A and B are shown apart, each in its own frame.
Chain A
Amino acid sequence: EAGVAQSPRYKIIEKRQSVAFWCNPISGHATLYWYQQILGQGPKLLIQFQNNGVVDDSQLPKDRFSAERLKGVDSTLKIQPAKLEDSAVYLCASSSSTGTSGIYPYEQYFGPGTRLTVT
């Protein structure tokens, strides 16, 4: 099966500019995740969608970050305005379901990521 697609792969912007990332999950996957991975750290979840609804956005800096998943398929993550500390790799992942305890379609499949540099 085709993997999770992300674009662009690299982006360089100046602080206070805006930027948007796109993610196309694996076909049929209901759950989509956006992670931020700052250099030297592990991925940190920003937002999780179940179909087109948000189930967890507790770590999304809502004053500058926004995300949507229209029609429950593709998703975009936007930063406006960007700050220097937003420089990171933004990973998109998808899974077939959040499921319930003991059931495992949870495996998250990751995209290649978008490397954002804010100067």
Chain B
Amino acid sequence: AQRVTQPEKLLSVFKGAPVELKCNYSYSGSPELFWYVQYSRQRLQLLLRHISRESIKGFTADLNKGETSFHLKKPFAQEEDSAMYYCALRPLSGFQKLVFGTGTRLLVSP
């Protein structure tokens, strides 16, 4: 079965502090992993995907197949990073759906 686990419902940090949003997954094959973000009163949108290996808005995420993790990191949090973050998995075979975690709310305080 495919499952995505985000253990923290809320992560509260101060501006300038490092951030790590945890994501663990279970899947027997090779999945694609994503982070989606939803800012207040905005639509759910793609933040980054592991295949592209890019840094978006200062965020990076590395796929660790050994630990089946895809944690999202940013060295210095900004207030505008406050949002709901969802980790998602997509199997690489067939017409497969995105499987989302339950989300972590990041709150960055001044």
Chain A contacts to B: CB under 8 angstroms: 3-4, 33, 40-45, 48, 50, 55-56, 91, 98, 101, 104, 106-113
Closest chain A residue, CB of each to CB of B42: A112
Residues of B near A3 (CB, < 8 A) are: 43
Separation of A111 and B43 alpha carbons in the complex (Å): 6
Closest 6 CB pairs of A and B: A42-B100, A45-B97, A55-B95, A110-B44, A101-B92, A110-B43
* Given known A42-B4, A106-B90, A110-B45, contact A48–B102 (CB-CB < 8 A): no
Known A-B contacts: A43-B98, A104-B49, A111-B43. Give 7 more (CB < 8 A).
Answer: A40-B102, A41-B103, A42-B103, A91-B44, A108-B46, A110-B45, A113-B43
Residues B52-110 near A (CB distance < 8 A): 86, 88, 90, 92-93, 95-103
Chain B interface bracket (under 10, 10 to 19, 20 to 34, 35 or more)? 20 to 34
Separation of A104 and B51 alpha carbons in the complex (Å): 10
Residues of A near B88 (CB, < 8 A) are: 42
Separation of A101 and B51 alpha carbons in the complex (Å): 11
Residues of A near B96 (CB, < 8 A) are: 56
Cβ-defined contact, A42 with B45, below 8 A: no
Separation of A111 and B95 alpha carbons in the complex (Å): 21
Closest chain A residue, CB of each to CB of B97: A45
Cβ-defined contact, B95 with A50, below 8 A: yes
Cβ-defined contact, B93 with A43, below 8 A: no
Closest chain A residue, CB of each to CB of B86: A42
Q: Which of A41, A43, A48, A55 counts the most B-chain CB atoms under 10 A from its CB?
A: A43
